[in-house]
Structure 1
Amino acid sequence: MPKHVVFDVVGTLVSYDAFFASIQKVLGPRLLAQNLSPKLFGFAWLESSEREFTYLSISSRHKPYKTVFAAMFYRILWMSGISLPREFATDAERDEMVAAYSTLQLRDGVQETFDLLQKSGFEVWCLTTGDKERVLGYFDNARVEFSRERFRSCDSSGVAKPALEAYRPLFESFGTDEKWFAAAHYWDVSAAKIVGFKGAYCSVYEKEDCKELFDVDMDVMADTLPEMAKKIIEASR
């Protein structure tokens, strides 16, 4: 029986470290002078943008994530306690940090993870909510080959994960084959499991899975991507 593993990309295969480093470079001293952690500010900016992006999507007003991300910058400064956000930072500085999102790098072990799975008979796919060309660029920059035919983006269909319709087309296209979904976001894998995928969760990003929130158990859990691949292979035997 053919076997498939679908990976989330940003946060799972790709680290946010380059984005956090850009915040440190552009705004770090100013944020620290206000007793604000640059990394925590970046996390708040990312997560709030994800929320607004999802809310727009589920209310049939989908916009590209990059558009939402840029628009949220000054609001997050305000919410962080900066009383005059547009005097604290400039559009050019915001745009420099937004541009850094396109320079994110693959996590250690991605190529090994793909190789392990492919050698064991799995077809590897990706499903992202991000812009297809930007996200594919992460693989190109790392010189990791990935088939464009096995890459899917919700962005083109106007549906954001974790809406179940974001997962269902790829799930159904596999027919009766063995189907896994793998991510470093518990919310992501748990939604894919509701659709019918087997679930593999890697704690490399979130550390704490908070699985009590989701009422869904994983088929595989691991701390690193290669370890997750090995456990998927073992569970499939």
Structure 2
Amino acid sequence: MPKHVVFDVVGTCVSFDAYFARIENVIGTKLHQHAITARHFGYTWMEAAELEFTFLSISERYKPYKEVMKAVFYRTLWMAGIDDPRSFATDSERDQCIAGYSELKLRDGAKECLEKLRAAGFTVWCFTTGDIARVRGYFEKAGLDMPLANFVSCDDQKIAKPALAAYRSVLNKFSADDEKWFAAAHMWDVSAAKSVGFKGAYCTVYEKEPCLEIFDTEIDVMADGLVTMAEGICQASIA
């Protein structure tokens, strides 16, 4: 029986550390003068972008995530307490910060995680809100083969996760009898995928707190690291 694991990439296989470091390098000194850390601003900026990205998709006005992120930069500075955001930072500085996304690196254990799954007979897929060229580049820079045909972007269907239709578009690539897993470090991502028929594997490496009290589902595998998550998937598959 064919076996598949679909991974979220950014935040799960890939760490945001390089993005936070780029913000620190570009506007960190100015942020510190307002008692704002680069990590907190970077997280808030991403969350604001994801909110608008999702709302636009729900209202059937889908825009690529990178366009949304660019648009909400100054608004996020304003919400962080910067009185005059457009005097605080320039478009060039904004674009330099966004470019930090292209420098993201695979998390520790990501390569071993995927190798373990492949050795156990799983085909590995990637499902992302990002553009495929950039996201595939993270694997290429790490020397890890990830076939282009195994990437799916929300841009393809113009439907953003966590809309259930987005997950169904991936699930429908597989046969009904195939073993199908969805793996992520975002509980909202895994729990939504579970609701359309995937088995779910969650890693706490990014969010730390799964906040299970607000997600109405039972996760099949939960682990603190990517390697142990892969081992859990393999064990559950054998069982």
User: In the TM superposition, what is the alpha-carbon distance from 1:100 to its structure 2 partner?
Assistant: 1.1
In structure 1, the residue matched to 2:16 is: 16
User: In the TM superposition, what is the alpha-carbon distance from 1:108 to its structure 2 partner?
Assistant: 1.1
Cα offsets for 1:133-175 (capped at 9, x unmatched): 1111111111211011111111121000000111112212211
Paired with 1:140 and 1:122, the residues of 2 have a C-alpha distance of 20
Structure 1, 95-104 or 169-178: larger mean CA deviation:
169-178
Consecutive unaligned residues in structure 1, runs of 5 or more: none
Report SS of the residue matched to 1:126. strand
In structure 2, the residue matched to 1:46 is: 46
Amino acid at match of 2:229: M
Consecutive unaligned residues in structure 2, runs of 5 or more: none
Report SS of the residue matched to 1:179. strand
Paired with 1:44 and 1:199, the residues of 2 have a C-alpha distance of 27
Amino acid at match of 1:204: V
Paired with 2:114 and 2:37, the residues of 1 have a C-alpha distance of 35
Moved segments of 4+, more than 6 Å: none
Structure 1, 127-136 or 225-234: larger mean CA deviation:
127-136
In structure 2, the residue matched to 1:211 is: 212
Paired with 1:123 and 1:191, the residues of 2 have a C-alpha distance of 21
In structure 1, the residue matched to 2:150 is: 150
Amino acid at match of 1:168: R
In structure 1, the residue matched to 2:98 is: 98
Amino acid at match of 1:215: D
- Equivalent pairs: percent with the same residue? 59
Amino acid at match of 2:217: V
Report SS of the residue matched to 2:172. helix
In structure 1, the residue matched to 2:192 is: 191
Paired with 1:65 and 1:209, the residues of 2 have a C-alpha distance of 24
Paired with 2:50 and 2:67, the residues of 1 have a C-alpha distance of 11
Paired with 2:101 and 2:2, the residues of 1 have a C-alpha distance of 35
User: In the TM superposition, what is the alpha-carbon distance from 1:74 to its structure 2 partner?
Assistant: 0.4
Paired with 2:78 and 2:162, the residues of 1 have a C-alpha distance of 28
Paired with 1:226 and 1:139, the residues of 2 have a C-alpha distance of 17
Report SS of the residue matched to 2:125. strand
In structure 1, the residue matched to 2:33 is: 33
In structure 2, the residue matched to 1:236 is: 237
Q: Does 2:146 align with 1:131? A: no
User: In the TM superposition, what is the alpha-carbon distance from 1:71 to its structure 2 partner?
Assistant: 0.7
User: In the TM superposition, what is the alpha-carbon distance from 1:182 to its structure 2 partner?
Assistant: 0.2
User: In the TM superposition, what is the alpha-carbon distance from 1:125 to its structure 2 partner?
Assistant: 0.8
Give the count of matched residue pairs: 237
Q: Does 2:168 align with 1:168? A: yes
Paired with 1:43 and 1:60, the residues of 2 have a C-alpha distance of 26
